[in-house]
């Protein structure tokens, strides 16, 4: 993943922080997480999508809450 501007470094203990350095990396991250949230964190995620859409003049659809059954998709 080095060619998309992704860097990581350890903060404390078992915590890892990722820094994404370019638009392509951000788009990949958004695509991976899109539609996967079950909690109000989806609001914050949609705020990121809105920010990227406005800042970079792209059109990523807002993410819907994952309402699938916990037994099939935990």
Q: What's the pLDDT tens digit per position in 9-38?
A: 767 788 777 788 788 888 988 999 999 998
CB 47 within 8 A of CB 41: no
What percent of the chain is predicted at pLDDT more than 90? 46
pLDDT over threshold 80, residue 50: yes
pLDDT over threshold 90, residue 48: yes
As a whole number of angstroms, the distance between CA 56 and CA 74 comes to 33
pLDDT band at 1 (very low <50, low <70, confident <90, very high): very low
Q: Which residue has the tokens 């993943």?
A: 1
């Amino acid at each position: 993943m080095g060619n998309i501007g992704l860097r990581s470094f350890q903060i404390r203990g078992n915590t890892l922080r990722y820094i994404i350095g370019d638009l392509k990396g951000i788009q990949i991250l958004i695509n991976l997480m899109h539609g996967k949230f079950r909690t109000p964190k989806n609001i914050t995620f949609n705020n990121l999508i809105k920010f990227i859409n406005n800042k970079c003049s792209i059109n990523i659809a807002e993410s819907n809450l994952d309402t699938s059954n916990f037994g099939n998709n935990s």
